[in-house]
Structure 1
Amino acid sequence: MNLLIVVDMQKDFIDGSLGTAEAQAIVPAVKERIVEAMGDRWQVIFTKDTHSIDYLKTQEGRNLPVMHCLRGSDGWQFPAELQDLSVGSSIFEKGSFGSLELAEYVRSLNPDAIEVIGLCTDICVLANVALLKAYCPEVPMTVRASCCAGVTPEAHENALNAMKALQVEIL
């Protein structure tokens, strides 16, 4: 079984409070990759950055004091282009950068291969790739650079290089 993990493709990271032109630009490629993976019978798993109203009191909120991805808000949702594709898929809500629950679930599936795409390359993609590599060290893992965007283009490139050092293939 092959897995495609779609990290935090939410409105707030695309065109909302933390959106970037680079994030907006990858949405068509992400949609195309999800459709292709589903057609090839890959299991597609989504994550959702999920915060509550007390976000600014958390360590992350003190370091990044921008309200985003509040559970139930418009910015917490997937964009229209991806909404229907997420129906019926596993969705992991995560209150921090990486998800131990996701890593444990993926390990329980004993996949043949893992591909990771999404936002932001230098934060949540990198954190989840590192966790998945720790939980599934022998599973080949790829990150599709054209389906990821970082906080800045430089941060995106730095994260891709860090993941290469973790023996992740960058496509």
Structure 2
Amino acid sequence: MNKLLVVVDMQKDFIDGALGTPQAQAIVPGVLEKIRHYHKAGDDIVFTMDTHTQDYLDTQEGRKLPVPHCIKGTAGFELTGELAPYASVVFEKPAFGSLTLAEYASGGEYDQIELIGLCTDICVISNALLLKSYLPESRIMVDSGCCAGVTPESHENALEAMRMCQIEIL
């Protein structure tokens, strides 16, 4: 069985930086454990990184969320230290979901794709739905214990929305 782990936006600004939360900080050990498990099994692991430029506040997202974050070249853009050594395949994305990730996954003949990371209610759900659309017969899963949302309530709402779209919630 071909398995893929997608680690979504585990960047410093989402963990303990500009948009960090205690919930995001709390999932880091579990995310690292999950990555190590996939790595040891020889399964594929890819990372996404929210990627903005200095003109972020002039973008549509910046006008709706006027908190500069994940600006390429800043410390907040970087993956949190413990995870960085595993990031050999990285998809930088200027928006919530990555079409490049979905195209990559569709070329890999993956039977199972698991997503973990941040934020459940924005980028995790966006990428899970894209993957489900590109690969309707693949088993798409989200580990709820290795994800955190903007708020605990929006995390739960996103999990329920993904369940309704036939994404398996672990």
**TM-score between both structures, scaled by the size of structure 2:** 0.98
For 1:36, the equivalent position in structure 2 comes to 37
Q: Percent of aligned pairs with the same residue?
A: 58
Displacement after TM superposition at 1:84 (Å) = 1.4
Measured in 1, the distance between the counterparts of 2:86 and 2:106 equals 23
Q: Map residues 17-166 of structure 1 onto 2, 5 A cutoff.
A: 17-86=18-87, 89-166=88-165
RMSD: 0.6
Q: Secondary structure at the match of 1:6?
A: strand
Name segments (4+ residues, structure 1) moved above 4 Å: none
Q: Secondary structure at the match of 1:80?
A: coil
Displacement after TM superposition at 1:163 (Å) = 0.5
Displacement after TM superposition at 1:26 (Å) = 0.2
Measured in 2, the distance between the counterparts of 1:98 and 1:83 equals 21
The alignment covers a number of residue pairs equal to 169
Q: Secondary structure at the match of 2:63?
A: helix
Displacement after TM superposition at 1:110 (Å) = 1.6
Displacement after TM superposition at 1:42 (Å) = 1.1
Measured in 1, the distance between the counterparts of 2:73 and 2:105 equals 26
Residues 26-82 of structure 1: per-residue CA shift (max 9 Å, x gap) = 000000000001111110000000000111111110100000000111000011111
**TM-score between both structures, scaled by the size of structure 1:** 0.97
